[in-house]
Structure 1
Amino acid sequence: MENFTLPQNIRSMTKCNSFLWNSSSTSIQDATIDNNTSLCNFTSAANQSVITEIDYGASWVYFYLIPIISSFGLIGNTLSFIVVIQLSRVSSFYLYLAVLALSDSVVLILLGFLYYIDPSVFLSAHKDTPRNYYSPFYICYIIFSQYSSWIIVALSVDRYIAVCHPLKVKTFCTRKRAITTTMCIFLAIFALDFPLFCFKWNDDNTSCLFPAKSIHFTAEYFNIIDLPTYAMVPVAIILVLSILIIRGLYIANKRRQHLSNNLTSGRMKIKSSTLKTMVLLMATVLIFFMTSLPVICVMTYTLAADVGFTVFMHSNPYIICMIDVLSALNHAANFALYGLTGTTFREELLKLFCRCRFRGVTG
């Protein structure tokens, strides 16, 4: 089997692909393989060369396992959105959860079914000319995966204000402000990632014609922007806010112990509804940490050891597959998390289910 290398800067989804080489294309017109380009074609069974064990495992992950996870995740996110959009009438926290469910759904569609939507992403690999990895489909995946990370940051900020600055809740934790915040976050991420888009390439796929730019610029820009925006900065901010929230809960609890029932203060009292949402937030944050840390560790290792990510990818293909599976689980776990840790969510879900059942009986 002919060896090839993927672009060093490609994250997650396309890092552990299975390629079936077209051994029947021997003429210059059919295929040309040199030091600059490795051509890969997906052919019928009669023309396929032997697939290694690694390739078979990767194809199984990307064509079966991740689509299955994504399918269940889309169903769960749909149910979650229906429930939390009802709860968002009383709390900005649930409005953020509704936006998170929508964003995660887009990620699952692109992550789980991109190879079916745009087969060229799976079938093509060009050394140092990653045409398909800067296609609108893939960059939309990048944008919404980053957007989901920053919605969790917004959730943490919202609960930090509710716990540590309860007197400012009516000013900052409102539906209007939540809508404005989510829109601003999306526009900022879209503007940050827009230079990655390429809508028209030259004939040899070495530069972008619209908008005009070199592939070197695009690759370097991706390396600088993606990992900090997707994981490093959001994880750092959420970690700091989580520590401050836990500290605020501890201080509030200690102060309440020194107060009589008749002397409770609004500044020191935390509403029971806030405490309920805190459990749900911490569960969401924990899953985000668990699924993001492998990406951060791998990228940090490759940078610290001065090892190209492509080399690491081919040496540890199953680690990259594991990262993609964890990413799918992160975006698909909303409904399970909310159902297990959200008391208010379960109550609203039961009410919704009972109303639908009652309507079905009476109808």
Structure 2
Amino acid sequence: MSNSTQQALVTDIYGNITSSMEVTTLVYPQEYHRLNAVINILNRYYIWVIFAFGCPGNVMSICVIAGMSKRRLTTSFFSVAVLAVVDNLTIIMKMVENQSRSHKIISFDETGCQFLFFLGLTCAAFANWILIMISAERFTAVAFPMKVALIWSLRRAVGIIVCVFVFLGLVHSHIFASVTHYENYTCTVKKRFHQYIHPYWYFTSATVYAFIPATCLIVFNVLIIVLLRRSSATRRHMLSESDASNVEARRQDRQVTIMLVTVAVTFLILTIPRCVCVIAYHSMCTGNADLMCTTRRQLFDTLTTQIADTNHAINFYMYVLTGRRFREYFLKLFKCRQMLYMKVSSSNTHMSELPLTESRI
């Protein structure tokens, strides 16, 4: 095999590959180049798919929740609205980081890189912890339906959300010491901190982003499903003896529970591969000397990262598919907007057809 000049690879705090310097190495098989091409395509373009589907969907979630909560803002709807806002912030931060790494926008200085990484990682983890809060609230609603309003007041929910954000901010505060900006490959970790990325910070970040949320969601949602199955007969009997308003309220509460449990289960399906990758990362290859194995590992790492990031883009579509009340209000809102647009268009057309002297009156 002949020699060629190739860039050495450095993994940044996001798990992305960036180049640091040029080294002389051997020419590797076509599989190596194909795998790197796939990695580059995923890192460069998949964020646009997430952005195209996620941002409009999250905005629509906020609009629908705002309309459904005109009479009374429940803790569940408040958490869903906050989740939509945080998901959109996460997508925007990932988009900015991706474009900065691709040199398509002006590069940041060191302070800009630090704030970009801090806000991006904190918001990504924060969205998953909001799901924990939603599942905990739904578990309380199923297990203690008469006490849920006392246990989960709106003020308490706001306090919990603020405390969780502060906690996650402290976890990721090391970024202000470890992240910098290099002219050749934008934002990345300072060289003296490379030895701490995978053993400590990488695993810590993965723990607060995936391991803890996944574990909590598994526990809460298994309990919710078991309680719903056990109480189905009792619930039907209670509904038959209740007045119409209580029947409708209980049905709506059950629909909200099913909708949010579906979102949590989807999160688990998309996040568990990421957990597996983090756990098995160092055992996949004996060392960095086997570049083919390292490249395959990096492909698996990139795929699981992108799949997990999809969580920030699909919640609205899960609400529409599983929440009848949410879907009905969304269609009602869409039809109202469409009718208003048609009415305005018809009025403008009518005015344009009037004689000039009549239209001036």
TM (norm. structure 2) is: 0.74
> Contact 1:283/1:337 (CA < 8 Å) preserved in 2?
yes
Equivalent residue for 2:99, pick from 105, 109, 116: 116
Q: Distance in 1 between matches of 2:182 and 2:282?
A: 33
Kindly indicate whether the alpha-carbon contact (under 8 Å) linking 2:35 and 2:296 is maintained by their aligned counterparts in 1.
no
Tell me if structure 2 keeps the 8 A contact 1:294–1:323: yes
CA distance in structure 2 between the partners assigned to 1:141 and 1:313 by the alignment: 26
The answer to whether the Cα contact below 8 Å between 2:178 and 2:193 also exists between their aligned partners in 1 is no
Structure 1 Cα separation of the partners of residues 227 and 38 of structure 2: 47
The answer to which structure has the higher helix fraction is 2
The alpha carbon displacement at 1:348 in A equals: 1.6
- Structure 2 residue identity aligned to 1:60: I
Highest CA radius of gyration, 1 or 2? 2
Percent identity over the alignment? Answer: 21
1:180-259 → structure 2 map (5 Å cutoff): 180-198=159-177, 215=193, 219=197, 221-256=200-235
The alpha-carbon deviation at position 352 of structure 1 amounts to 1.7
Give the C-alpha shift of residue 305 in structure 1.
6.7
- Provide the secondary structure at the position in 2 that maps to 1:271: helix
Residue 167 of structure 1: SS of its match in structure 2? coil
- Does the aligned pair in 1 maintain the 2:111–2:180 contact within 8 Å? no
Point out the more displaced range, 153-162 or 73-82. Answer: 73-82
Deviation (angstroms), 1:285: 1.2
| Partners of 1:282 and 1:355 in 2: CA distance | 30
* Native 8 Å contact 1:73 1:331 kept in 2: yes
* Counterpart-to-counterpart distance in 1, 2:141 and 2:265: 20
Shift of 1:288: 0.8
> How has the CA–CA distance of structure 1 residues 302 and 199 changed in structure 2, closer, same or farther, with 3 Å as cutoff?
closer
Which of 259, 269, 283 does residue 280 from structure 1 map onto? Answer: 259
| Structure richer in strand, relative to its length | 2
CA distance in 2, matches of 1:229, 1:353: 37
The aligned counterpart of 2:85 is 102
Distance of 2:153 and 2:285 partners within structure 1: 47
Q: SS at 1:6's partner residue?
A: strand
In structure 2, the CA distance between the partners of 1:3 and 1:260, relative to structure 1 (3 Å rule), is closer
Partner of 1:34: none
For 2:21, the equivalent position in structure 1 comes to: 38
The CA deviation string for residues 186-228 of structure 1, in whole angstroms up to 9 with x for no partner, is 1221122112224886999xxxxxxx99626963651352111
1:54 aligns with 2:35: yes
Which secondary structure does the structure 1 equivalent of 2:231 belong to? helix
Correspondence for 2:303: 322
Instruction: Quote the residue 2:55 is aligned against.
Output: 74
Q: Tell me the SS of whatever aligns to 1:166.
A: coil
| SS of corresponding position for 2:10 | coil
Length-normalised TM-score, structure 1: 0.74
Query: Is 2:123 the counterpart of 1:140?
Result: no
The alpha-carbon distance between structure 1 residues 285 and 202, as it changes in their structure 2 partners (threshold 3 A), is: closer
Q: Give the length in aligned residue pairs.
A: 316
CA RMSD of aligned residues (A): 3.9
The answer on whether the counterparts of 2:36 and 2:295 sit within 8 Å (CA) in structure 1 is no
Are residues 260 and 198 of structure 1, via their aligned partners in 2, closer, same or farther at CA, if it must alter by over 3 Å? Answer: closer
Q: Is the contact between residue 161 and residue 169 of structure 1 (CA under 8 Å) also seen in structure 2?
A: yes
Rounded to whole Å, the distance in 2 between the matches of 1:309 and 1:232 is: 26
**Distance verdict in 2 for CA 1:217–1:188, change over 3 Å:** farther
Partner of 1:38: helix, strand, or coil?
Answer: strand
1: distance between equivalents of 2:328 and 2:161? 26
Residue 164 of structure 1, CA deviation: 0.4
Change (3 A) 1:103 1:324: same
Distance 1:260 1:172 in 2: 24
Residue 352, structure 1, aligned to residue 330, structure 2: no
2:309 is matched by which residue type in structure 1? A
Select between 351-360 and 177-186 the one with higher mean Cα deviation: 351-360
Q: Does 1:158 align with 2:137?
A: yes
Q: Determine if contact 2:44/2:102 at 8 Å carries over to the other structure.
A: no
- 8 Å CA contact 1:110–1:137 kept in 2: the answer is yes
- Residues 52, 262 of structure 1: CA spacing in aligned structure 2 closer, same or farther, 3 A cutoff? closer
Q: Cα distance, 1:134 vs. partner?
A: 6.8
